[in-house]
Amino acid sequence: MVQENKSRNLALAISVCAAVLSLCAAAFLAFYPPPATFSKLVPTDNPWVRDGRFSVSVCNGVQCKLCPFKCFLPEGARGRCKARINYGGRIKTLVYSKAVSVHLDPVEKKPVYHLYPGSLIYSLASPGCNLRCKGCQNWEISQIYPEQAARTTLVPERLDIKVAPDTGRVYGELKQKEIATLSPEEIVSYALATHSRSIAYTYSEPAVFYEYMYDTARLARQKGLKNVMVSAGYINREPLEQLLKYMDVVKIDLKGFNEKFYRDYTGGGLWPVKQTLLTLKKNGVLFEIVNLVVPGLNDGRESMADMIAWIKKDLGADVPLFFSRFAPNYQVANIGATPVETLTWARNAAMKQGLKYVYVGNIPGHEGENTYCPVCGRILIKRYGYAVQENQLTPTGGRCPHDGTKIPGIW
Ligand code: SF4
């Protein structure tokens, strides 16, 4: 009788456990659904689908090893970035040659200050991003599936420099064209035809259109163009190091210096971005850092001071560092623009720590827009917004004309 009761109790306990587990699983799936399967939506003749790099086969799927999220993708599943998929047991990029935003920008707009000041940079993006920044300025392209992007895009094709016969004023006439795909060869040829001196992989997150960027950068290097990656730095070391063979400048958006802020605001972590910056330093690549200062979220004096101290100690005093003004946007449109005093305080704090090239971004006319000689303190490049008003570095090959100090950069 006792034995019978024991068995009945055991059976009851097992059923209760099974019921609780099923409920938990249902609740978990409701909040964290598995990646949607899109494989049937990827036609085999889709011109933007190509083999992706950096993955391994595991269990019944593949694991993408391009970025620190290391998504596990069962057949047909899409990665967190929306731009990579397990299709037929192999990782595929869905955005090769799928340019969604293509512009001819001043290099200062990236912002990159230590590369050919005042030059044009051919800038492009593909859809997708691995982070979820609440204040993303380009969320219309970074947070969409490639299928949601417009089928065609207007791209700059040629820039003719003309002189007005009556006034003698020099102006540019830009010819553009509507395209559905933009190959690496076309990018390089259009960059040359628009007098660009470099190409920027920017606006969304270039790490997730890695193969497209890599092939374009390799070709651009052969044709004498410089390559600039503007990134949040959320990429694994091996793909990054392979890419660095062709990158001339990397701009990293270091969004803050606190793990909790990073998790809450971007959905990623701070540690991998610090690793990326250390990898750039180790590989001797020219890089700049920008920190968008969002009031109330990442503008704590202590955490900014920690960031400055770490940059000085681990990356060196020569790294150009920007503190940029945030403008209300996307999911944090309720937060006001960064006060100028906060940015000025951050710049002064960084210079006090010994950083030599500290800038203030998005405040036209601020003294922090200029490049100064760290030895004699004179202005070497005077800027107003995206315009370069005076440039003493290009004629000297990057040396202060007053005391010969070498300024890091490509001039
Ligand atoms: S690149 Fe995309 S698919 Fe690959 S690990 Fe990162 S988020 Fe996942």
Interval 215-240 mean pLDDT: 98
Dist. CA 287 → ligand 1 center (Å): 23
Identify the pLDDT of residue 37: 45
- Unique residue bearing structure tokens 């019921």: 19
Residue-wise pLDDT tens digits, 123-167: 999 999 999 999 999 999 999 999 899 999 999 999 999 999 999
Pocket test for ligand 1, best of 69, 212, 213, 243 (most atoms within 8 A of CB): 69
What is the SS3 assignment for 85-131?
Answer: EEECCEEEECCCCCCCEEEEEEHHHCCCCCECCCCEEEEEECCCCCC
288 CB contacts (<8 Å, ≥6 apart)? Answer: 111, 112, 113, 114, 249, 250, 251, 252, 319, 320, 321, 322
Cα 257 to Cα 271: distance, rounded to the nearest angstrom: 9
List pocket residues of ligand 1, CB cut-off 6 Å: 64, 66-67, 69-71, 79-81, 84, 130, 208
**Which of the residue ranges 33-37, 278-282, 320-324, 369-373 would you say has the lowest mean pLDDT?**
33-37
Dist. CA 130 → ligand 1 center (Å): 6
Cα 181 to Cα 406: distance, rounded to the nearest angstrom: 42
Identify the pLDDT of residue 32: 55
40 CB contacts (<8 Å, ≥6 apart)? Answer: 76
3-state helix, strand, coil in the chain (%, to 5): 30, 25, 40
Percent of the chain with pLDDT over 70: 90
User: Among positive and negative, which fits the CA dihedral 326, 328, 333, 339?
Assistant: positive
Confidence of residue 38 (pLDDT cuts 50, 70, 90): very low
In this structure, the strands spanning 120-125 and 101-106 are antiparallel
Residue-wise pLDDT tens digits, 396-411: 999 999 999 999 999 9
User: Among positive and negative, which fits the CA dihedral 213, 216, 222, 228?
Assistant: negative
389 CB contacts (<8 Å, ≥6 apart)? Answer: 382, 383
Dist. CA 208 → ligand 1 center (Å): 7
Interval 78-84 mean pLDDT: 96
User: Among positive and negative, which fits the CA dihedral 104, 112, 181, 35?
Assistant: negative
Residue-wise pLDDT tens digits, 269-297: 999 999 999 999 999 999 999 999 999 99
> Is the predicted pLDDT of residue 44 greater than 70, yes or no?
no
> Is the predicted pLDDT of residue 100 greater than 60, yes or no?
yes
Identify the pLDDT of residue 60: 85
Confidence of residue 67 (pLDDT cuts 50, 70, 90): very high
Structure tokens at 27: 């609740």
- pTM > 0.85: yes or no: yes
Cα 171 → chain centroid: 32
Interval 71-87 mean pLDDT: 95
